[in-house]
């Protein structure tokens, strides 16, 4: 059997696909759990993500197939009111956003394929949402700009999927640029592409391969804790979100927050935001040592104040920070498992992977996977389906 994506589409649906689309995953270099606190984040889009082949069908149903899970479904409009528990809730949420804008998003055969790890904090779900948004935008001739498509995908995640995530993942997937990180102000959506000038240094992602559980509810809990902190401080001074405060302003007002857990959550958000600002200056000035130290501090804050790490992420980041040739290492994404991101001297990468992999397995009993990040462009239609590497 020929396993290329177009052939699989033909085998499954009995006809040719009409369009191929791609949306990348992302790795966040620094700035964790600050997007929903109105701060700056610094992610980049990856070369891997989710591909989607689509063709129109004659009825008002949509068929969802993926090559990544053993589950396919054909749904109609009733799925907007009875949300399925299965993965097609991600594209359905985006379809519902198109419906809310007055478009008819039904009547497609869809085949998804992700060449990235799922549920590993590299935004596989945002890439499914964004690729659906790009596809519908093209098929419907809707002419919606990429930032609005990212916002629609975030609303799909918030309102339909039920995770109150910020805008970082969908924005990075929409607006990624090859060999650039995105300095994104999540309060205003103003952004700047910053060249990843990292001569002789590689961005290495390490996957804990921990089975993540209850991430959505723990994530939503952290978010409410930060909102509570902002509410308490707003009694003393006008404030929309925690990241409007400098660390000094925050410490002066910290007495407003009497609950020690909420105080630590808020302290993470405020100090992380300050670290992102400093890290962007460091990268622009070519000071990768400083960038790396800020990554290490970010991990410590996520471990001690935000409490979203755990033995797996702490072992990968902590052991990495001790190795020769490592400038910095931290967890990336929501946490509770998933991946770390490290800056590693390129000639030290093979020994980094061998030593860290061995120490991780010895201490945690799991096997880590490693990826050397290639930073790619944002979500797009792949015009020449036949020439695509996948087809
Ligand atoms: C998840 C969310 C993002 C962001 C990160 C943490 O990836 O989807 O919006 O909050 O966690 O930085």
- Structure token digits, residue 267: 């302290």
Regarding the beta carbon of 125 and ligand 1, being less than 6 Å apart is answered no
Residue 261 · residue 305 · CB < 8 Å: no
Indicate whether 10 and 34 sit together in one domain.
yes
Regarding the beta carbon of 333 and ligand 1, being less than 6 Å apart is answered yes
pLDDT at 388: 57
Model-level pTM? 0.96
Print burial letters for 218-242: b (CB count within 10 Å at least 16), e (below 16): bbeebbebbbebbebbeeeeebebb
- Structure token digits, residue 227: 């909102």
Indicate whether 53 and 157 sit together in one domain.
yes
How far, in Å, is the centroid of ligand 1 from the Cα of 43? 11
Which residue, by CA, sits nearest to atom 1 of ligand 1? 334
Indicate the SS3 state at residue 279.
helix
Indicate whether 177 and 230 sit together in one domain.
no
Mean pLDDT of the 156-166 span: 96
Q: Is the pLDDT of residue 389 over 70?
A: no
At 323, which CATH number? Answer: 3.30.70.890
Which atom of ligand 1 is closest in space to residue 123's alpha carbon? 7
Q: What angle do CA 39, 44, 49 make, to 5 degrees?
A: 125
Active site residue 314: no
How far, in Å, is the centroid of ligand 1 from the Cα of 334? 5
Q: Give dist(CA 9, CA 253) in Å, integer.
A: 58
Which atom of ligand 1 is closest in space to residue 32's alpha carbon? 12
The tens digit of pLDDT for each residue in 308-332 reads: 999 999 999 999 999 999 999 999 9
Regarding the beta carbon of 35 and ligand 1, being less than 6 Å apart is answered yes
| Number of independent structural domains in the chain | 2
pLDDT at 216: 85
Residue-range definition of the domain harbouring residue 58: 5-196+377-382
How far, in Å, is the centroid of ligand 1 from the Cα of 75? 29
**Packing angle between helix 168-175 and helix 124-139, nearest 10 degrees?**
50
Residue 1 pLDDT grade (very low, low, confident, very high; cuts 50, 70, 90) = very low
Indicate whether 183 and 257 sit together in one domain.
no
> By mean pLDDT, which of 4-8, 112-116, 178-182 is the weakest?
4-8
Phi, psi angle pair for 302, to nearest 5°: -70, -30
The tens digit of pLDDT for each residue in 39-51 reads: 999 999 999 999 9
At 67, which CATH number? Answer: 3.30.230.10
Averaged pLDDT score across all residues of the chain: 96
Residues 6+ away with beta carbon under 8 Å from 168: 26, 28, 31, 35, 41, 43, 184, 186
* DSSP-assigned letters across all residues of 49-79: EEEEEEEE-SSS-EEEEESSSS--EEE-GGG
Choose, from 109, 169, 305, 314, the residue flagged as catalytic. 169
Q: Give dist(CA 329, CA 281) in Å, integer.
A: 18
Q: Give dist(CA 57, CA 283) in Å, integer.
A: 49
How far, in Å, is the centroid of ligand 1 from the Cα of 85? 21
Indicate whether 159 and 284 sit together in one domain.
no
Q: Give dist(CA 195, CA 181) in Å, integer.
A: 6
Residue 133 pLDDT grade (very low, low, confident, very high; cuts 50, 70, 90) = very high
């Amino acid at each position: 059997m020929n396993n290329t994506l177009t052939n699989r589409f033909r085998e499954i649906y009995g006809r040719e696909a009409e369009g191929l689309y791609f949306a990348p995953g992302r790795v966040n270099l620094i700035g964790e759990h600050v997007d929903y606190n109105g701060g700056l984040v610094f992610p980049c889009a990856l070369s891997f993500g989710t591909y989607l082949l689509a063709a129109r069908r004659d009825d008002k149903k949509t068929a969802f197939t993926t090559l990544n899970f053993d589950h396919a479904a054909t749904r109609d409009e009733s799925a907007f009111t009875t949300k399925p528990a299965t993965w097609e809730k991600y594209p359905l949420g985006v379809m519902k956003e198109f419906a809310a804008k007055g478009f008819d998003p039904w009547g497609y055969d869809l085949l998804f394929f992700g060449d990235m790890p799922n549920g590993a904090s590299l935004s596989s779900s945002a890439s499914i949402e964004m690729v659906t948004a790009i596809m519908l935008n093209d098929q419907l001739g809707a002419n919606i700009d990429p930032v609005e498509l990212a916002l629609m995908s975030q609303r799909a995640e918030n309102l339909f999927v039920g995770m109150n995530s910020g805008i970082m993942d969908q924005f990075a997937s929409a607006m990624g640029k090859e060999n650039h990180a995105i300095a994104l102000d999540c309060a205003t959506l103003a952004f700047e592409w910053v060249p990843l000038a990292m001569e002789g240094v590689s961005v290495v992602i390490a996957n804990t391969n921990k089975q993540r559980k209850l991430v959505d509810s723990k994530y939503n809990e952290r978010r409410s804790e930060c909102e509570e902190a902002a509410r308490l401080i707003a009694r003393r001074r006008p404030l929309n979100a925690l990241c409007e405060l400098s660390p000094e302003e925050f410490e002066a007002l910290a007495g407003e927050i009497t609950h020690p857990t909420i105080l630590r959550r808020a302290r993470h958000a405020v100090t992380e935001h300050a670290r992102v600002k400093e890290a962007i200056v460091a990268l622009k000035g070519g000071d990768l040592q400083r960038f790396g130290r800020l990554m290490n501090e970010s991990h410590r804050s996520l471990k001690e104040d935000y409490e979203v790490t755990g033995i797996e992420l702490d072992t990968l980041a902590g052991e990495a920070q001790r190795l020769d040739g490592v400038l910095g290492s931290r967890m990336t994404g929501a946490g509770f498992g998933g991946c770390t991101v490290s800056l590693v001297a390129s000639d030290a990468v093979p020994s980094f992977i061998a030593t860290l992999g061995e120490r991780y397995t010895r201490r945690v009993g799991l096997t880590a996977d490693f990826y050397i990040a290639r930073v790619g462009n944002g979500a797009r239609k792949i015009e020449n389906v036949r020439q695509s590497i996948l087809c």
